[in-house]
Structure 1
Amino acid sequence: MQTRTVGTTMPVLEIMLGPGERVTAEGGEVSWYTPGMQLETSTRFGSGGRGGFMSGLKRALGGGQLFLTEYTAPTGGMVAFAARMPGVIRELTIDPADEFMVQSGSYIASTTDVEVSVALQKRLGAGIFGGAGLVFQKLAGHGRAWVELSGEIVEYDLAQGQSMIVHPGHLALFTAGMDLQFATVKGIKNKFFGDALMMAEIHGPGHVWLQSMTAAKLAAAIEPYLPDKSGGGNGDN
């Protein structure tokens, strides 16, 4: 199995599969693939060979997808996934010593022995995600996984005793086992006029990937330029 990332601002991940090789991805996320590729959708995929329907149900209850799709190339082929947000695509090597927590929506695909599960769900204020909850998926097992991170990426190694306070939308990826806590922003003015009611505090040891862009901030930036649908549809400016 070989991979290639094409592009810069809106990259595309191409996965070249040898004869009989397989890769798992969330349903509906594929962009294109070569003829002869076999697709099968099931709840058992993404469970690292374990769990079946219950693993899929836990993903769904946590805000993830119940079904994942497995792509098999009987004679070899290519399958491609396009990024949904401007940013970068990163490959992770996963084994029992290297497991990761990635913000929901960032997972692209993985090899078949990687387990994809919802491991953290937190309801946060409307100023962060429009009232939606924050969900992190855990990538465990053994194999390779690919994730998309938004905007520019800044990485930090936190030693034992070190911590960092992060706007939850910017916390894209971190090594599993790190202590993550949420605290309400102090001060009345901060609560009512700030952009976040809660902040995340992540504690070392471990490695964190912070993203410069969030979906909420991108939506807020383009909202003034969207057509006004409240004027009765007469098209007047």
Structure 2
Amino acid sequence: MQTRIMGTTMPVLEITMGPGEQVIAEGGDVAWLSPGFGLDTSTRFGSGGRGGFMSGLKRALGGGQLFLTEYTAPREGGFVAFATDLPGTIRELRVDAADEFMVQSGAYMASTPQVEVSVGLQKKLGAGIFGGAGVVFQKLAGTGTAWVQLAGEITEYDLPAGRSMLIHPGHLALFRAGMGLEFTSVRGVKNKLFGDSLLLAEIHGPGHVWLQSMTAEKLASAIEPYLPDRTPSSSSGNG
């Protein structure tokens, strides 16, 4: 199996596979692929070779999809490609017992069959964060390779034991599982969502964190003033 990440602002992940090799991805996320692939959709995929419907249900409740699709290369091999949803970057992660990861919901792109995708953390944060939906991180465990999409520019920090960082939840894209994470309200910061307090994630070392400069919510807020007004005019029903 060979991978190629193409492009800059809106990159594409291309995975070239030999006969019978497989990758798992969320249904409908494929951008293009060569002919002959076997496609199978099931709740059991993304469970690291274990589980079934309940594993898929837990994944769906955590913001992922109930069904994942397995792509199996034909006898002559082939390639499948996945495009990012937002401007940013694609990262390849090697997953094993010593390296498990927590990734923000929506960032998971694809993985090899023995990687387990599950809900790692789900927290209701209030109406100001993600439209009131709270924050969800999916856990990548098992053994294999996973690919994730991170938004905007990426800044990485390696936190030693005893050190911590305060991060806006939307910018915390990826971190190593096992790091302590809690949410705290910081008073004295005026902002349009929380008045005189700001809700931040506090993450504790040791471990590595990946922070993204863009969030879907900030992008939507930036372009909203330029979208057409779909509200019916008061005179629309007067002939």
- Give TM class, smaller chain: over 0.9
Alignment of 1:156-235 (within 5 A): 156-187=157-188, 189=190, 192-193=194-195, 197-232=198-233
Q: How far apart, in 2, do the equivalents of 1:110 and 1:63 lie?
A: 17
Q: Write the deviation string for residues 200-231 of structure 1: whole angstroms up to 9, x where unpaired.
A: 00000000000000001000110110001125
Q: Pick closer, same or farther for the CA change 1:185–1:34 going to 2, 3 Å.
A: same
Aligned residue in 1 for 2:141 = 140
Q: How far apart, in 1, do the equivalents of 2:130 and 2:60 lie?
A: 19
Q: How far apart, in 1, do the equivalents of 2:13 and 2:172 lie?
A: 22
Alignment of 1:97-112 (within 5 A): 97-112=98-113
Q: How far apart, in 2, do the equivalents of 1:187 and 1:145 lie?
A: 40
Q: How far apart, in 2, do the equivalents of 1:5 and 1:78 lie?
A: 13
Q: Pick closer, same or farther for the CA change 1:88–1:189 going to 2, 3 Å.
A: closer
Contact 2:63–2:106 (CA under 8 A) maintained in structure 1: no
Normalization by structure 2: what TM-score? 0.93
Q: How far apart, in 2, do the equivalents of 1:14 and 1:136 lie?
A: 25
Q: How far apart, in 2, do the equivalents of 1:6 and 1:188 lie?
A: 40
Q: How far apart, in 2, do the equivalents of 1:74 and 1:186 lie?
A: 58
Aligned length: 234
Q: Pick closer, same or farther for the CA change 1:141–1:192 going to 2, 3 Å.
A: closer
Note the residue ranges of structure 2 that are not aligned, 5 or more in a row. none
Aligned residue in 2 for 1:12 = 12
Identity %: 74
Q: Write the deviation string for residues 97-126 of structure 1: whole angstroms up to 9, x where unpaired.
A: 000000000000000010000110011133
- 1:206 maps to amino acid: G
Normalization by structure 1: what TM-score? 0.94
Q: CA RMSD in A?
A: 1.8
Which has the larger displacement, 100-109 or 67-76? Answer: 67-76
Pair 1:71 & 2:68 matched: no
Q: How far apart, in 1, do the equivalents of 2:48 and 2:227 lie?
A: 43
Q: How far apart, in 2, do the equivalents of 1:197 and 1:124 lie?
A: 11
Contact 1:161–1:205 (CA under 8 A) maintained in structure 2: yes
Q: How far apart, in 2, do the equivalents of 1:116 and 1:106 lie?
A: 12
Note the residue ranges of structure 1 that are not aligned, 5 or more in a row. none
